[in-house]
Amino acid sequence: MQVNGEDCPDPASPVTAGDQVTVTYDPHQGYPEKKRPWSDRTFSVVFEDKHLIVVNKSAGVLTVATDSGDPTTLVARVSNYVRHATGRRDVYVAHRLDRGVSGLLVFGKSLEAGRHLQEQFKRQQPERVFVGIVGGQMKSDQGTLRSYLDTGNNLDAFATHSKEQGQLAVTHYLVLNRLPDLTVVQMRLETARRHQVRVQFADAGHPFLGDPRYGGKASRHELWNKKRIALYASSLTIVHPVSGQQQTFECPTPKAMQRFMVS
């Protein structure tokens, strides 16, 4: 580096208005390589601080590992990101999303934050809002689905009206758009059972597009050829584990669903 044509060995030397500073790149100097920005097909970061991270999960990705031993899980990928960015260790799972569903998930960055978030979800405190596309025309513009969910021997969940048999599941819905043979609905979960909205809407005769597990042939549609379920977690409200402040996070509509959102 030179200042006014003379070598300047100290880069911290003060300069004044009108000084001419010349910097020359030396390819043999061995400058440290600039850290590349993180890019990952399994998620994008929505919010992050020292205590937690909120991500938008891609469809087709498991939240945590199963017995099948899938090497690509969201918790592993987010842990890699956190280690890369901050040097911290693994993140802590507070809740999950089904593999074929995209949307918002929060992870704790410390054991304490993770436990605090887990306790919130255990008590059904966070507000979780989903948006999806179901087959057929919903009769009412808004309503509530209330049933009891149990799990069969094949691990599929199913709805029952016997409170002695299953766990209470309550979903409030609002119709956002109507197409000739499809309905776009917004759902607010009062409870958060395994596969809750998928089972309840299929049981009501309106399965989500792309969900043959619960909708069978009725989940197929000529306008939906995606290898995912037409469902995403659009909004998540939690209490921050350290500040105690309520925080709401939102994510954009997946591209695969955007054209269905307006007539």
Element housing 189 (H / E)? strand 182-189
Nearest Cα residue to 221 out of 182, 186, 168, 183: 182
What domains does the chain contain, in order, with CATH numbers?
43-258 (3.30.2350.10)
pLDDT value, residue 20: 85
The answer to whether 218 and 135 have CB atoms below 8 angstroms apart is yes
Q: Is 98 a catalytic site residue?
A: yes
Q: How many Å is the Cα radius of gyration of the chain?
A: 25
- Name the nearest CA neighbour of 188 among 252, 118, 236: 236
Q: Which residues of the chain have pLDDT under 50?
A: none
Cα–Cα distance for residue pair 194/155, rounded to 1 Å: 10
What pTM, to 2 d.p., does this model score? 0.82
From the candidates 98, 141, 203, 211, which is the catalytic residue? 98
pLDDT for res 190: 96
pLDDT at 37: 55
**CA distances to 51, 62, 90, 101, 123 from 70, in Å:** 28, 8, 18, 17, 30
> What does the pLDDT read at residue 194?
92
